[in-house]
């Protein structure tokens, strides 16, 4: 598999990995860690052996897993396991075949950058699959793959219920899914929830007037703090991205 910026990396399409018995524990368990709680793979309906096997598949240095999440108008959210021996991490970005470079969402590693998605964007991407493009089409899987990039202090009242339903759909025991969803949505271990808003027009550059519709994040550690999601794209491409993300036109 070839992705710009990863020319020499051993990338492999990994859309089959979420079917592994311990995948979701291996992928999401770390987000449930708090000072009071030591998370357990059993929360996800997995045992330690299955979780370890899935974790090995996710972190293999010779095979970097790539999850493609295609959404509206040719856009794709991409999750890459950057399995370098000395600098492992997970990278989240948005791509389009007509762009020269990717739009950076978030990075999870020793020098994390995030959050990268608002709740509105996360659920819109998850809910608008593109069956004609390669990648993950199942909406619960799409939502959970992108969930680590979320950071939004204005979660709706039904956020826990929606994540819980996604967890049940991928095999998490129903009697514990609500509690797991609460753990995943609150107290992200790497960053604070952000305030997301459409940027105000700049009196000097007029940037927001020329490129409306893309949300900006107020957390300084986010790649999206005061910066357009996709740099170097035209106004037309920016408008298409805003529509694909469900943030333009703004809600009345």
The pLDDT, as a whole number, for residue 14 is 97
Helices (H) and strands (E) in the chain, counts: 8, 7
The pLDDT, as a whole number, for residue 230 is 83
Q: Which residue is it, tokens 């075949």?
A: 97
Note the pTM of the prediction, 2 decimals: 0.94
The pLDDT, as a whole number, for residue 34 is 75
The pLDDT, as a whole number, for residue 203 is 52
The pLDDT, as a whole number, for residue 80 is 98
The pLDDT, as a whole number, for residue 94 is 97
- In the numeric block, which tokens belong to residue 223? 């790649």
Positions in the chain whose pLDDT score sits under 50: 205-209, 252
Q: Cα(155)–Cα(181) distance, rounded to whole angstroms? A: 13
Q: Do the bridges between strand 64-70 and strand 11-13 make them parallel or antiparallel, or are there none, so unpaired?
A: parallel
pLDDT tens per residue across span 31-61: 998 777 789 999 999 999 999 999 999 999 9
Q: How far apart are the first and last CA of the chain?
A: 42
């Amino acid at each position: 598999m070839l992705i710009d910026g990863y020319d020499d990396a051993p990338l492999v399409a990994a859309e089959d990995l979420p079917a592994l018995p311990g995948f979701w524990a291996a992928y999401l368990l770390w987000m449930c860690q708090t000072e009071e709680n030591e998370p357990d793979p059993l929360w996800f309906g997995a045992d330690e052996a299955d979780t370890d096997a899935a974790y090995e598949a996710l972190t293999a240095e010779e095979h970097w897993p790539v999850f493609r999440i295609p959404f509206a108008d040719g856009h794709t959210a991409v999750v890459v396991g950057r399995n370098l021996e000395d600098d492992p991490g997970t990278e989240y970005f948005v791509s389009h075949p007509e762009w020269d470079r990717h739009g950076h969402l978030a990075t999870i590693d020793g020098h994390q950058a995030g959050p990268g998605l608002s709740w509105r964007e996360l659920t819109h991407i998850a809910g608008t699959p593109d069956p004609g493009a390669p990648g993950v089409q199942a909406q619960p899987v799409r939502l959970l793959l992108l969930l680590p990039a979320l950071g939004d202090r204005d979660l709706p009242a039904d956020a826990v219920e929606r994540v819980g339903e996604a967890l049940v759909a991928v095999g998490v025991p129903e009697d514990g899914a609500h509690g797991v969803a609460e753990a995943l949505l609150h107290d992200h271990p790497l960053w604070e929830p952000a305030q997301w808003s459409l940027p105000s027009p700049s009196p000097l550059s007029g940037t927001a007037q020329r490129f409306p519709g893309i949300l900006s994040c107020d957390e300084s550690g986010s790649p999206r703090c005061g910066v357009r999601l996709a740099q170097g794209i035209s106004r037309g491409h920016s408008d298409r991205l805003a529509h694909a993300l469900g943030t333009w036109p703004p809600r009345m």
